[in-house]
Structure 1
Amino acid sequence: MWATMSPAAAREALAGPARVALIRDAAESGLAEAQAVLGQMLLDGTELPADARAGFGWFMRAAAQEYLPALNMVGRCYELGWGVTPDAARAAECYRVAAERGSTEAMYNYATQLALGRGAAEDKSAALAWLRRAAARGFAKAENFVGSFHEDGWATPVDLLAATQCYARAAHGGDFRGCFNHARMLVGKGRVREALAWIGKAAMLGTPRFREQLRDWLAGQGDAELRLRGVAVLDRC
């Protein structure tokens, strides 16, 4: 069925009421992309009852076909214990293989493991190199992490100008932590009103946990305008 269907017909079918059944049919017929989609649906409990173990199984089947997004997700499952016993070393190895084969997200994930020494020997220089490769592809989360390396002096001299530039690129790229870090840099320059706009964007894009961390950060700020208006921004989110 799927081998003979045009891309337009496939898109139309997958947007219809039989979407879940069609995705499952495609996955069972061996289509790696569909296997990865089905795995994500089961992992998230989207359109299907949540079943992390089954989701992990579908990611494994797609990864066996060298589908890099699925291999990266196998790594995530091993890292976070989604449907499988956590195994940091296996997670790092999945990320490494997917990164070396060109997965941008895996580059970021592998770099994180290397930076923290989680599942692989700590190697901040190698981590920075992988982050720069991912950032060069426009991956905003990686750009933000490169900024942290420059700000904290990890594997590179402290360079606040470079950090500021990285955070700005990450913010404009839509990374919520990048938005926050960009706002911090603006606060340091006294540009509070500009910073508030980015704090609002960070709050809208971020997770509930991140919003609570942002609220705690604001509570500790000495600038009354920043503190009060920042909290008001959070309350609207």
Structure 2
Amino acid sequence: MTAAVASMEQEQDLARGELHNPSNGAGETDLELPFDAPPAAEDVELIRSAKELYKAHNYEECVAVLRRGGASGIPAAHTLLGECFAQGKGVKQDWASAAKCYRVGAMLGDPLGAFRLAACLQRDKGGTERNDKEALEWYQKAGAAGVTEALFRAGVICVDGKDLVSAMKLFLTAARNGHKGSAYNVAVLFQQISAVDKNAEAESVKWFMRSADRGSSRALNALGRISQRRGNMPAAVEFWQKAAQKGNAKAMQNLAICYLKGEGVEANAVEAVRLFRNAAELGNIPSQYNLSVCLLKGIGVEVPDAPEALLWLQKSAEEGDPEGCLLYGNILRRGESGAIKDEKLAHEYISKAAALGNKAAQAALLHLEH
């Protein structure tokens, strides 16, 4: 059996954020919830009262106050009432009612109502059919009124629609207002054109740095890759350490390989395995494969652990890792490492690896079938 650790990973995709779901955290997002947002001056007293009731978990009375505010034509009251419907606070959870409240708030000029309505339209939520065109319009209105996250979401829609010029403008505006996801996306877009514009590389680094300064682990990981490309491995390690401390699994994977190979840092196989394990537990597929290889070969551990290695290897194979599919298939074909020999299943995994573009698997498949 032969196997080698997988290569390093980079952040290739644009940051997309997470469409609003009041019941979930939003990861690396810059969005403030409506109850944390300042109301219009004339609505201060009622909205302040609603906030206090909400924070005291007196949701039913909060809803009653917001209904009175809505009846009085206060735009933010409609939006916040929609939030109560969305979260099921003081009323039965009802996304259709939430969307209706958001729409009223938006039509009355509440920026956060416009934002929430756009999110419903983008998610096909609350009885609203998915409509990216209308969502874009409401995001732009919210963005023009100061909701920076709306500019970011509008930019993502433009990217999906292949309108990169508009996307760049929106991301730049949001980034200049402190939005880390937008700063990251500006950097990615500049990076994509750096092959034809040498000045774009410097702009890309500048915006990655701004995004990293605002706490983006993805930007830190990207800066590590840039440092690696430039041959500055100590700097790469430093960026990846910072990103790993923020829970970025790709950075953990990259840092683990540095420790394994002694690149930019003193070799430490035990630390490499620890990082592979942490990343694997976070769902990083290459790390699941790499951890399995280390456990099979006894790298960074006191003794080889084939049973645990096979569990991680199978997981990586099931998740579609080409190297994982090939290695797991070969182990099944030969009945190695305590695995029960199963030529049929082995062929399936090797075929899967070949279909995923693994050259060694393609060659092995030709040998097995002839």
- Counterparts in 2 of 1:23 and 1:146: CA distance versus 1, 3 Å: same
Corresponding residue for 2:223?
146
Contact 1:68 1:98 survives alignment (8 Å): yes
Residue type at the aligned position of 1:29: G
Shift of 1:29: 1.1
Q: TM-score if structure 2 supplies the norm length?
A: 0.51
For 1:40 and 1:196, how far apart are their aligned partners in 2? 41
Higher RCO (CA < 8 A, seq sep 6+): 2
Corresponding residue for 1:110?
186
- Partner residue of 1:59 out of 118, 133, 139: 139
Shifted more, 161-170 versus 24-33: the winner is 24-33
- Counterparts in 2 of 1:183 and 1:8: CA distance versus 1, 3 Å: farther
Corresponding residue for 1:200?
277
Residue type at the aligned position of 1:43: Q
For 1:35 and 1:201, how far apart are their aligned partners in 2? 40
- Counterparts in 2 of 1:29 and 1:37: CA distance versus 1, 3 Å: closer
- Partner residue of 2:153 out of 65, 73, 77: 73
Aligned residues: 223
- Partner residue of 2:212 out of 135, 140, 154: 135
1:64-103 superposed matches below 5 A: 64-79=144-159, 81=160, 85-103=161-179
Shift of 1:45: 4.9
Shift of 1:19: 5.7
1:7-86 superposed matches below 5 A: 7-9=51-53, 12=59, 14=84, 15-16=87-88, 17-18=92-93, 20=95, 21-22=97-98, 24-30=100-106, 31-45=110-124, 51-53=130-132, 54-79=134-159, 81=160, 85-86=161-162
Contact 1:199 1:230 survives alignment (8 Å): no
Q: TM-score if structure 1 supplies the norm length?
A: 0.75
Shift of 1:235: 4.9
Residue type at the aligned position of 1:105: G
For 2:246 and 2:239, how far apart are their aligned partners in 1? 10
Contact 2:276 2:288 survives alignment (8 Å): no
Gaps of 5+ in 2: 1-38, 64-83, 317-370
Residue by residue over 1:59-115, the C-alpha shift from the partner in whole angstroms, topping out at 9 and shown as x without a partner, is 233223231111011111111x2xxx3211111111111112221211111011011
- Percent identity over the alignment is 18
For 2:142 and 2:191, how far apart are their aligned partners in 1? 28
- How well do the aligned residues superpose, as a CA RMSD in angstroms? 3.5
Shift of 1:152: 0.7
- Counterparts in 2 of 1:149 and 1:25: CA distance versus 1, 3 Å: same
Contact 2:158 2:164 survives alignment (8 Å): yes
Confirm or deny that 1:167 pairs with 2:240: yes
Shifted more, 37-46 versus 133-142: the winner is 37-46
Shift of 1:184: 1.9
2:247 counterpart SS class: coil
